[in-house]
Structure 1
Amino acid sequence: MTRLRPGAPSPIEAIPASSWNALVSDDYPFLRHEFLAALEDTGAVAPETGWVPRHLTLWRGDELVGILPHYLKYHSFGEYVFDWAWAEAWERAGGRYYPKALSAIPFTPVPGPRLLLAADIDPLQARCRLAEAWEAGDVSSWHLLFAEQAEVDVWRQARPELIPRHGVQFQWRDRGFGDFEGFLATLTSKRRKAIRRERRRVAEQGLTLHRLEGHEIGDADLAHFFHCYQITYLERGQRGYLDEAFFARLRRDLPASLLLIQARLEGRPVAAALCLQGSRTLYGRYWGSEVMADGLHFETCYYQGIEHCLARGLTLFDPGTQGEHKLARGFAPQRLTSLHHIADPRLRAGVARFCDEESAHVTAYHEAAGRSLPFKI
């Protein structure tokens, strides 16, 4: 009989890495034990930063058969599905919004699996058992962010009261292009010429691009990347959520998942983008530059990634959140759904109304964005 392990908060170190990873897809590195452990062990995810790891597990005897990443949150930073207005409204009304419960990958708005189950575990039963953790707990709400649509559908079947909230991101898919020129051939003449002009302009400024994978990324390469990553945040008067030790852990523990795209000027690195990759998908994640150069961001973060996918047989490129400028470069809009359990019926009614009204705008935006793609008809 499958049972939910109850009890105290469970950081990832309390769960055997081999048992955890046995349930993880080979295409989604963000759910691997090594990635989440790097977040916790380097202090990015910790009670001191407002993240309390409380990973939920399902066991059959001594066998781990289910995992749901799960955190108590004392703020809403690092999530990218924004509920600040909900918290403010509820606290103005005399309620207490924090702590809340969250199932997501910290600082990582990348769609993918969330609940991991052994193949012979009933998915509805598993979800009902897991829901006990926040339905009986001292939290205002539970939030499932950036889950795959099939997983969202099963959650809504198991718990119809969950409130859906929709959003849009942009992704590139290989349509059998063969190479970058094959990709360009599917675009309108105007966009094809514009992309070639952008790439040519990067070269005319003396910049060269280099892709380093896994153990090809040296100490100096990683240090320079981290310097660039911090620049991106410092430009906004902030500091990055992640420190250099986190990225060093990734290079040590998940080298095959790393791709560093480095821009060099006169042989010296001046910009960098760090991506993660699975068996079928490239995930663009972190970027920064020491220089201002025309087209450099597009080349480093988009065109090099497309070339890498075509060279390695990866069929999907998720370049990260936001950015309508991705449309003109062949990244199609994808509709995403988050789910929200709100304990108090008064707040639940308000949130449901907000999400329902917002959904109509998201649908219109998604349809308009799809009409703006530059592919030939």
Structure 2
Amino acid sequence: MIRPHATIAELPAADWDALAGDAPMLRHAFLDALEQSGCVGGDSGWQPSHLALWRDGTLRAAMPLYIKQHSYGEYVFDWAWARAYTEHGLSYYPKLVGAVPFTPLPGPRLLARDDADRLALIRGALELADQGGMSSLHLLFGDDADLAACDAAGMTRREQVQFHWQRQPGWHDFDDFLDSLSRDKRRKIRQERRKVTEAGVRVRRKLGRQIGADDWAFFMRCYDSTYREHRSTPYLNLDFFLRAHAAQPDAWVMALAYRDDAPIAAALNLAGPTRLYGRYWGAQWDAGGWVPGLHFELCYYQGIEHALANGLDTVEGGAQGEHKLARGFSPVMTHSAHWLAHPAFADAVERFLDRERRLVGAYHDELNAHLPFRVEQDGT
């Protein structure tokens, strides 16, 4: 039996986590913290409708699923589709979205032990969207197994590019990583790090239970100011961060910048067994937070150092950002899948996505031709 659930609390945490694997943002506690803090649910425009496949009273497969009243916080942009619906007198919302809210991190969204259950889940989601009068169904940042199920269910793929740092054989510390770069990229990174030090800034990484209440309060001010600087409203609140940290303390890594022993900037990451997921950054400009290169130091170089020191293979830089390429990050394709109920719009979107995939593929190839790593003839 497949049926939706209005809160994650209706689903057994141990069973959910056994299906979800080790990615911290897919854990039951992370999703529950989003709901308990009010970041989703209520009037947020994210209404939980988590899909569960039950067999003999046991949770066999599940999908984080939301009824959406807008397209904020998804990082796979369909605003043009919504405008087209409106221009033709149609309503694009509500729609159904399988995703981790506010989290553009690739990973499984159809949490199942086999392909048959994944296919059953996505077909169940399609049926829910159709019967519920939704305009569409979207599965965001899925993995290969998810996408295979979506293909089999007749959904259309969309592709984007992110930038991930990936450890290579022989890299044991930051100097090993730097030695792999071309001369000009290596010099640029050293200059950026030196400017931060010469500005009198000291950086400290705090892990897990080292992160205290004062650190969270300061980080929240930074996070909030970043959104305000961009004339936007923060998606998350302090209650969420405190709940999520208490539930998974070892999953959090915070890099803090200090000047004269006072914090001026912070970056927050989530950590899994093999990956570091870069998430949020902010600075207190009125407290001396404007320092050239500080964003790169906290968000990239501290993350790389942490990965190298702790045996992690990958640092995911989040959505967008060509500037990451020059700092040792490589282009990686990410995928989503889409179904639209309206036949004419479904056909138009499919043709658009076919053209877009070709363009994104060419862009990915072009980026790979400009990787920052030195080649043999570099001579360094």
- Residue 194 (str. 1) matches residue 188 (str. 2): yes
Corresponding residue to 1:267 among 245, 261, 278: 261
Partner of 2:323: 325
| Alignment partner, residue 367 of structure 1 | 365
Q: Which runs of structure 2 are paired with 1:332-351 in the superposition (5 Å)?
A: 332-351=330-349
Instruction: Give the partner amino acid of 1:171.
Output: H
TM-score relative to the length of structure 1: 0.95
- Matched-pair contact (CA < 8 Å) for 2:159–2:336: yes
Distance 1:21 1:80, change over 3 A: same
- Corresponding letter in the other structure for 1:281: R
Match of 1:236 among 230, 234, 237: 230
Contact 1:65 1:121 in 2 (8 A): no
Other-structure match for 1:20: 16
- Cα deviation for residue 18 of structure 1 reads 1.8
Corresponding residue of 2:137: 142
Q: Which residue in the other structure is 2:355 paired with?
A: 357
1:65 is aligned to 60
1:222 maps to: 216
Q: How does 1:178-193 map to 2 (within 5 A)?
A: 178-193=172-187
Give per-residue Cα distances to partners, 1:234-284, cap 9 Å, x unaligned: 112222111111111112111010001101111111100110000100000
Match in the other structure for 1:51? 46
**Equivalent in the alignment of 2:102:** 107
Instruction: Find the partner of 1:82 among 73, 77, 85.
Output: 77
Find the residue that maps to 2:70 and give its secondary structure: coil
* 1:165 paired to 2:154: no
CA RMSD in angstroms comes to 1.4
Share of identical aligned residues, percent? 46
Give a deviation string over 1:283-339, Cα, whole Å, max 9, x none: 000110111101100000000000000000000100211110000011100111211
> Which shifted more, 67-76 or 87-96?
87-96
Task: Output the CA distance in 2 between the equivalents of 1:10 and 1:209.
Answer: 42
Q: Distance in 2 between matches of 1:211 and 1:364?
A: 38
The answer on whether the counterparts of 1:149 and 1:336 sit within 8 Å (CA) in structure 2 is no
Regions of 4+ moved over 6 Å: none
Q: In the alignment, residue 165 of structure 1 is paired with which amino acid?
A: R
TM-score (norm 2): 0.94
* Amino acid in the other structure paired with 1:59: W
Provide the C-alpha distance between the structure 2 equivalents of 1:294 and 1:147, rounded to a whole number of angstroms. Answer: 36
Q: Which runs of 5+ in 1 are unaligned?
A: none
Gaps of 5+ in 2: 376-380
Q: How far off its partner does 1:127 sit?
A: 3.5
> How far apart in 1 are the matches of 2:52 and 2:292?
49
Distance 1:365 1:64 in 2: 41
How many residues in Structure 1 have an aligned counterpart in Structure 2?
370
| Contact preservation (8 Å) 2:61, 2:117 | no
1:144/1:238 CA distance change after superposition, 3 Å: same
User: Could you tell me how far 1:126 is from its partner in structure 2?
Assistant: 4.3
| Corresponding residue to 1:288 among 279, 282, 291 | 282
